[in-house]
Amino acid sequence: MNTKLNLRNRFSKLIGTLSLAAAILAPTAASAAEHNLDGIWRGKLEVQPNVFLVVGININGDTITMDSPTQGNWGLPLKNFEISATEFKFSATELDAMYVGKVNGDEITGTFTQGIKRPLTLTRLSAADLERLAFEGRYGGVLGENTRYQLPLHVNVAVIAGGYYGSLDSPAQQSYGIPMTDFSISATGMSFKVPMIQASYESQVNTDRHYEGTFTQGVELPLTLKKMKAGEVLSGGPKPELGEHGGAIAVITPVGTTTKYFAEHDAHTYYEIGSVTKTMVAYLLANSIVTERVTESQSLQSIFAEVPESITLAQLATHTSGLPRLPGDLFEGADEADPYAHYTLATTLAYLADLEVAPTSESLDHYEYSNLGYGVLAEALASVHGKSFAQLIQDELFTPFGMTASNVAMPLQNGEQPLATLAQGYSSVGTPVAPWHFQAMAGAGAVRSTLPDMIRYVEQLIQRLQQRAPAVELLLAPRFTMGRCCARSLGWILQKDEKGQWFAWHNGQTAGATSFVGFYLDGSRAVVILHNQAQLDLDYALNILQGTETINE
């Protein structure tokens, strides 16, 4: 799950869809000067609702280069292009990208294709726009300079026709391209808002000509931003380690299970597991398919008439439905400390009714991680079974798997008390944060559990896979490849280790917790990590699973 100043992984992988690595391509034809197209052209490419990459094309005679200022890339050569009085085309074979546009004065209106076709209008920058290029670039700073844990942040400033577009990166959390609003930069100060994480920044230029100010997100933390040089990398303070405020870990093998609790935590401590919830929703789908309650090709529209017709249940479970990562109106009226608690099924369906989604297929080309997709998938399965999601997951997973302590974090009703043994959560920089609650987005990350229950969850999956239970076999069957190492199944990432052995894994994150669950498909080893702080080193977790690293003492 994703939100808050932990920046969550909200746009990791998604924004990487447009990876503008340098490409040297064979020339075809061109003469830009004779068509008066010289200049710097910029456009905003929408990769999710209200989430953009700025794409730039620089034309100087027959020399054309490409910029992606929001990704920190400038001057990448393009040699495969065609220009006429009315049309401009280019392709980049190594990027699997192409653009076809119609020229109309100072605008080129067309389509950018990289797996998915997206509209892109390029506008030639004016003299006033060109003056603003002095402020374009990547600005870096370390959030919480006086705290024990410090979080490097990047602010990407791109010039577009008539103004700027800004976005925020948190590389340590693999979160990129978080859009800003109300962005302003000058020789005296910089300011912006980040609605999706409900944050803001105000600064003034100091004597070092850096932007010195305050980043506010629930709490105020100092942040000084300076313009970074090409290739410059920021480093913060020490990363939070498992056990700083508590947590639990289990290593499971056929000969036994080793567990370790940190701080005062024990077998009764509850943790938010975040997006590991998605693996449970995927199991509910697989089981519903096997029991013939639904089919994997069944349309979501057959359950909720309001939604786009092209979406199937299997696409929701493999993040290939075309739905955005989050609803565009999620944070309207949201409680900053509990941003999902207000979002109902009626709100979800109203949002989807107005959303245009192009037909997609289960493939890497159409992969876009979607919390919204899993939220609506859980609600769809609940509707088919005639139950609430909380009751469905209790009946179909918690009870059969022997998970006696797990539950779904629904909003508290009148007189209802908070879960007393839920671990206090902490942000990435160590500040206490409140727990989250869910309604229609529950399928994306609402489950709370204990270490013994999560051990049972993994053991049951392994046991049922070895017994060739149809639901688990369907759950873990690879659907499409994701690079040389990995494949995607319903809800899980499948990966091969150096010996060619396959394992499945998923991680999760909320405002104050992180989790990791992984297991080898042959049952030889499994790991569960539950942490009540919103940062966990994924490489460490994967190394523990693969046996190349030991548990931190």
Residue in 444, 509, 355 with CA at minimum distance from that of residue 46? 355
Q: Is the dihedral of CA 258, 477, 400, 514 positive or negative?
A: positive
- Show me where the domains of the chain are located: 15-125, 247-546
Helix (H, G, I), strand (E, B) or coil at 463: helix
Do 487 and 306 form a contact (C-beta atoms < 8 A)?
no
438/435 Cα distance (integer angstroms): 10
341/48 Cα distance (integer angstroms): 23
What kind and span of H or E run contains 495? strand 493-496
pLDDT in tens, the chain (553 residues): 433 333 333 333 223 333 333 332 333 444 555 668 899 999 999 887 778 999 999 998 888 989 999 988 888 888 788 888 889 999 877 677 899 999 999 999 999 998 778 899 999 999 999 999 999 999 999 987 666 677 889 999 999 999 999 999 988 777 889 999 999 999 999 999 998 777 899 999 999 999 999 998 877 889 999 999 887 888 766 667 788 899 999 999 999 999 999 999 999 999 999 999 999 999 999 999 999 999 999 999 999 999 999 999 999 999 999 998 889 888 888 888 899 999 999 999 999 999 989 889 999 888 989 999 999 999 999 999 999 999 999 999 999 999 999 999 999 888 788 899 999 999 887 889 999 999 999 999 999 999 999 999 999 999 999 999 999 999 999 999 998 889 999 999 999 999 999 999 999 999 999 999 999 999 999 999 999 998 888 999 999 999 998 886 5
Residue 282 region, left (φ>0) first, then alpha (ψ -120 to 50), else beta? alpha
Local structure of residue 409 (DSSP, 8 states): -
Tokens, residue 99: 């653009």
What kind and span of H or E run contains 236? none
Residue 374 region, left (φ>0) first, then alpha (ψ -120 to 50), else beta? alpha
The pLDDT, as a whole number, for residue 239 is: 67
What is the CATH code for 247-546? Answer: 3.40.710.10
503/484 Cα distance (integer angstroms): 14
The packing angle between helices 371-385 and 277-290, to 10°, is 40
Edge to edge, the sheet with strand 447-449 lists 271-272, 447-449, 407-408
Angle at 50 between CA 444 and CA 41, to 5 degrees: 140
Q: Considering the domain delimited by 15-125, tell me its CATH architecture.
A: Beta Barrel (2.40)
For the entire predicted model, the pTM comes to: 0.82
Residue in 485, 527, 478 with CA at minimum distance from that of residue 507? 527
Chain-centre distance for alpha carbon 186: 31
551/456 Cα distance (integer angstroms): 20
518/308 Cα distance (integer angstroms): 34
Residue in 483, 481, 539 with CA at minimum distance from that of residue 363? 481
Half-sphere exposure at residue 56, Cβ-oriented, CA atoms within 13 angstroms: 25
